[in-house]
Amino acid sequence: MEEPAIVGEVRSQRIIDFPLVCLVIALAAVILAIGLALPISQLVPALPGFSPEMTVDLVAAILLVAAYKLVVRHLGEAPRDELRLKGSLRPLALGLFGGAAIFSLIVIVAAIAGVYRIVGLGSANTLLAALVSTAIFPAISEEIVFRGILFRWIEEFGGSWAALVLTSALFGAAHLANPHSSAIAAFGIALEAGMLLGAAYMLTRSLWMPIGLHAAWNFTQGQVYDIPVSGIEAEGLVEAQLSGPPLLTGDAFGLEASPIAMVVAALFGLWLLRLAIRRGQLVAPWWVRRRRIGSDAP
């Protein structure tokens, strides 16, 4: 007969390993990391070319990675590190190339449609700021939260389809607070970025490809093509204008709220999703997996 203490320990571990409990613990670690970013950044010596805001973003990104490594990757019945350095170069490089290529294709379609045109040369003055605050920090922070935590444990509980739909919707809703946002803009972000990034995560079971896609998408959009990044004005290497029907231009929010971006990015997202399904990466809901284990038992 098992000792009561051992039984209690096993039960406690099962509760801690339950997907939704893991989700809460992981989010708490991330919130703590973000909360520490400002006070710790004030202790960092001034970095050449860095504004105080950039320093906070850089420190926050480092703390979020630390929180992931120290807490998040150890959680659950089957702990795994989706930010492991070994084997990270290829998915990161593919993500960076893919993000730049996909948004370049969106710009080409917009130019053919007559809603995007280059009117002059821009500036490289904001290159470092864009790299840190528009590319690196949003890509690391949002991918850890939305794919590394929310997608992972919603999927562990409710399966891949529930995770893809819910995290895409949450990702779109999170951008409602951005300047010039709207319901259409939030829907666009959910459809194009939520599906694309979620499918990339499903395919690779790593955060490196989504991080690369996210960072390159933002940087290419703002710093290269001078298009607002989710409603936030950018200064690109070229000076460009969006003009025409607001439905096609995305209005002040930028091309991310345009059906051009929605269709192009969603098609790439569906392609990655198809690859993930063909490779057997779909996860069944928690209760279905439990039922299968029970039926396989002697």
> Could you read off the pLDDT of 102-141 as tens digits, one per residue?
999 999 999 999 999 999 998 888 888 889 999 999 999 9
d(CA 274, CA 97): 20
| For residue 68, pLDDT beyond 70 | yes
Give the side-chain half-sphere CA count within 13 A for 251. Answer: 11
| pTM for the predicted model, two decimal places | 0.93
Domain edges within the chain: 86-296
Q: How many residues in total does the chain contain?
A: 298
Using the structure block, give the residue that is written with the tokens 């299968």: 292
Q: Other C-beta atoms within 10 Å of 212: how many?
A: 24
Q: What is the mean pLDDT of residues 154-169?
A: 96
Please give the C-alpha separations between residue 243 and each of 249, 255, 257, in angstroms, as whole numbers.
Answer: 7, 11, 14
- pLDDT value of residue 142: 97
d(CA 227, CA 217): 11
Cα 44 from chain centre: 27
- pLDDT value of residue 251: 92
d(CA 219, CA 71): 30
| For residue 297, pLDDT beyond 50 | no
- pLDDT value of residue 296: 54
Write out pLDDT tens, residues 23-58: 999 999 999 999 999 999 999 988 888 899 999 999
Average pLDDT over the chain, rounded to whole? 92
Bridge partner list, 151: none
Write out pLDDT tens, residues 250-284: 999 999 999 999 999 999 999 999 999 999 999 98
